[in-house]
Amino acid sequence: MSKSSATIAAGQTNRVLISAWLYTVCFMIWVMVGIGGFTRETGSGLSIMNWDPIVGALPPMTADAWNKLFALYQTIPQAQILHKGMDLAGFQQLFWPEYIHRLWGRLIGVVFFLPLLGFILARRIEARLIPWLLLLFLMGGLQGAIGWFMVSSGFFAGSTAVEPWRLSLHFSAAMFLYVSVLWTALTVRHPTPTDPFEQRGLQRLTTLAILLLFCTMFAGTFVSGTHAISVFDPAKAIGVGMPPPGYPDTSFFTDQATILFNHQALATLTTLVLLITATKALRSNAGAPIRDAGLAIAGFVLLQFTLGVSALVSKMLDLGVAHQMNAVLLLTACILLLHRLRGATA
């Protein structure tokens, strides 16, 4: 093998390794969305009243440590209003989901930083990519800070949960980080666009679909943050896709019926645009990768609609979490299609 061939082969190996590492980080963020959703729906997020990035990696190890943490929890409004009379065993049930949530976040940081350091020292990463990857690592750390900013709002006087807009900020920042890591992984694995093809219209449509999906997911965080599905009442035409009484003069960010309707209206529009996008991709002559991405979008959007309706009607926590996690898979399919359309021409 010539020196140039060996260099090319080494470059390809490096791209496979680095992209696989970044895909692993994406998977971990996706799991984090599920853990975070479960933590939010069970009200566990306020069970840890301090933020210790290093020391906090260890749970209470003794009975005395548990009792001190429980006593601290009993000083916040959630414990006094919602969980008055709760015993230590009940507190521990609240504690573990939030602990796992924070521990998983720390683990993501370790899985990102240590391989990054190893790849840099081994000179397996292109120099131009290093500042961007370091920025992504800092964004991950910022996400932890935003998480604490969110949790701290739950300790305000009279508050039993975090402020919905802070929850939305936390989730939106996580999705921005997820998309950034995913796009980087895709670009590392496939550094050059495919041969040009006339699909600029599909490219624009995909971009629109992604923006709408982001808006719908953002609106969904307010549904979760305000427990808006609790007002679902078909007899009063609330939560069945109809504007609530007084709409649109009602508050878009505090009235539960309005929040639920806004999410449903956006979801309906987004579903239609995504199905149109998927149809155009499936009918495209741009090749199998484009059609495969379109098929994935179609499958995930239909599943998403089904999960959303099922979660609303049943009010089952597990379905709500699945709905949130599937939204990320749907977003992933859309990003995949957009990345494959980089070579599109007018």
pLDDT at 237: 85
pLDDT at 9: 61
Average pLDDT over residues 240-265: 91
Q: Residue holding tokens 């939305």?
A: 168
Least confident of 142-146, 156-160, 204-208, 319-323: 156-160
Annotated domain spans of the chain: 1-191, 195-346
pLDDT at 197: 65
**Does the pLDDT of residue 179 top 60, yes or no?**
yes
| Percentage of residues in the chain having pLDDT higher than 70 | 94
Average pLDDT over residues 311-319: 93
Q: pLDDT averaged over the chain? A: 92
**Does the pLDDT of residue 323 top 70, yes or no?**
yes
pLDDT at 195: 58
**pLDDT, tens digit, for every residue of 60-119?**
999 999 999 999 999 999 999 999 999 999 999 999 999 999 999 999 999 999 999 999
**Does the pLDDT of residue 131 top 90, yes or no?**
yes
pLDDT at 51: 79
**Does the pLDDT of residue 8 top 70, yes or no?**
no
| Percentage of residues in the chain having pLDDT higher than 90 | 77
**Does the pLDDT of residue 309 top 70, yes or no?**
yes
pLDDT at 199: 81
Q: Which two tokens stand for residue 11?
A: 């470059």
Q: Residue holding tokens 């899985």?
A: 111
**Does the pLDDT of residue 335 top 70, yes or no?**
yes
**Does the pLDDT of residue 55 top 90, yes or no?**
no
